[in-house]
Amino acid sequence: MNGHLPGSGGAGAGLSATGGLLLVSTVILLLGALSWGEAVFAPAAFAIFIVMVVWPLQVFLEARLPRMVASLITVAVTLVCVGALLTLFAWGMSVVGQWLIGNGARFQAIYQIGTDWLEGHGFAVAGQLSETFNTAWLVRMVQTTLARFNGLAGFAALVFAFAVLGLLEVESLVRRITAAGGRFGGVDIIAAGRQTAAHFRRYMLVRTIASALTGAIVWIIAHLVGLEHPAAWAAIAFTLNYIPFIGPVVATVLPTLFALAQFESFEIALVVLVCLTAVQFVIGSYLEPILTGSTLSISPFAVMFMVFLWSLLWGLTGAFIGVPILVAVLTVCRQLPSMQWLTVMLSGDKE
């Protein structure tokens, strides 16, 4: 019997390696398919997220109105909220863009001073960068950002269609899943869906509270420092805070650069940078974990990885939906004993 142990171990190791390679290949192919089918998969994922978040409103309205009417009202309210956020961000960026166009020479002058200083200290690359950096480049960047938001109309229409159909289908889908046994691969589908929906609602509530607080504090800082258009900076900070990591970084760097151009003082720009960084750190590292609790506690590395991975696949939509996708995956994995190691590895708990 002992003579067969080495061979058995080698076969087991080979099978394990083959299984691992198959899993990696499957994940890569799946991500490639999701990227290739972004035009369909991204609106569908966003619509599913919306359905799970707004379902309590749908149930409330269905008790008083026909189901179709209730669904249309629920989706309309959702689109109004999302549209208000996008409009608020577009307004803030347009105000900043107009200021940029009127004061672009300041940025060019400050940049030239910086490149001269770097070249004086042996950084020749600064001269090469100056050939590509100019006021027109900054204006194009702002215009491109606004154009992308204007191009969301088609995306929103598809999300609207998916969400309406999803709201009408939820109860029927629950009955079909129950009739089919209710379990798939050891996972209680209905229980996992309800838990995921509850996590999504809590996640959005926490992000809304954190975003509102961030926007208010940014307005106060901009007002006290004397930064022009504090309301615009508050609007940008409020809306961008819904996108983890990427949003707060942009909402911190942009006001710093404009403070540098407005006051032509590195000291004031440094004060703005330090204050905004402190705000983002305190809210992101202390307030949000307290509000989310242990059920939504996720490793910051995992959050950052998912944000950048899905932004690579689906752009701005992916940057937003990446964390909810991770929350859904962890909710399912908690029902599988064989996947407990993954939930432990990705957990942000300190215990």
Contact at 8 Å (CB) between 84 and 232?
no
State the pLDDT at residue 112: 64
The residue behind tokens 């154009």 is 147
Among 60-64, 94-98, 129-133, 198-202, where is mean pLDDT lowest? Answer: 129-133
User: Which amino acid, 66?
Assistant: P
Residue 104 pLDDT grade (very low, low, confident, very high; cuts 50, 70, 90): low
**119 contact partners, CB below 8 Å, separation of at least 6:** 126, 127
Contact at 8 Å (CB) between 296 and 327?
yes
Among 11-20, 169-178, 289-298, where is mean pLDDT lowest? Answer: 11-20
Q: What's the chain's Rg over C-alpha atoms?
A: 25
Contact at 8 Å (CB) between 317 and 42?
yes
In the chain, alpha helices (H): 5-36, 38-62, 67-102, 104-120, 125-132, 135-150, 153-179, 189-225, 230-240, 246-263, 266-282, 288-292, 300-314, 316-333, 340-346
pTM over 0.85: no
Structure tokens at 52: 């799970």
Does residue 6 register a pLDDT over 90? no
The helix (run of H) or strand (run of E) holding residue 36 is helix 5-36
Q: What is the average pLDDT across 291-300?
A: 71
